């Protein structure tokens, strides 16, 4: 199994940027899909961005043009660059890899 640990969250003003990181350790299997999910209070968990083992990416409509998912295989790390943040982006963000591997989540707060 793989352990995933998110970092880089915190408080940002509207219009600002954050870069989330997800460091993987353990029995990493290359070729798996990596994803970022988020869950806001009172809402269902939703997928934000996906990157496949071949590098293809997909984004939720709400974040297209503002968020960028990427990975560094040499560092076993997944990233989510978030620009032009707004209040609707405030949530707990989760990193996932393959089937059934989840990080603990990290808080992103957007407030002036």
**pLDDT tens-digit map of 44-78:** 999 999 999 899 999 999 999 999 999 998 899 99
Q: For position 32, what pLDDT does the model report?
A: 86
Range 35-39 average pLDDT: 98
Q: For position 30, what pLDDT does the model report?
A: 75
Q: Using 50, 70 and 90 to split pLDDT, how confident is the model at 1?
A: confident
Q: Using 50, 70 and 90 to split pLDDT, how confident is the model at 29?
A: confident
Q: What percent of the chain has pLDDT over 90?
A: 85
3 state SS for the chain: CEEEEEECCEEECCCCCEEEEEEEEECCCCCCCEEEEEECCCCCCEEEEEECCCCCEEECHHHCCCEEEEEEHHHCEEEEEECCCCHHHCEEEEEEECCCEECCCEEEEECC
Q: Check pLDDT > 80 for residue 28.
A: no
Range 81-92 average pLDDT: 98
């Amino acid at each position: 199994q793989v352990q995933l640990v998110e970092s880089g969250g915190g408080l940002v003003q509207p219009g600002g940027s954050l870069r989330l990181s997800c460091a993987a350790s353990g029995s990493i299997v290359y070729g798996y899909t990596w994803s970022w999910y988020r869950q806001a209070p009172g809402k269902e968990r939703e997928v934000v961005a996906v990157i496949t083992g071949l590098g293809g990416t997909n984004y939720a409509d709400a974040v297209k043009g503002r968020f960028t998912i990427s990975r560094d295989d040499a560092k076993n790390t997944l990233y989510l660059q978030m620009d032009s943040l707004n209040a609707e982006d405030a949530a707990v963000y989760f990193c996932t890899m393959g089937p059934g591997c989840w990080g603990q989540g990290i808080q992103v707060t957007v407030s002036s």
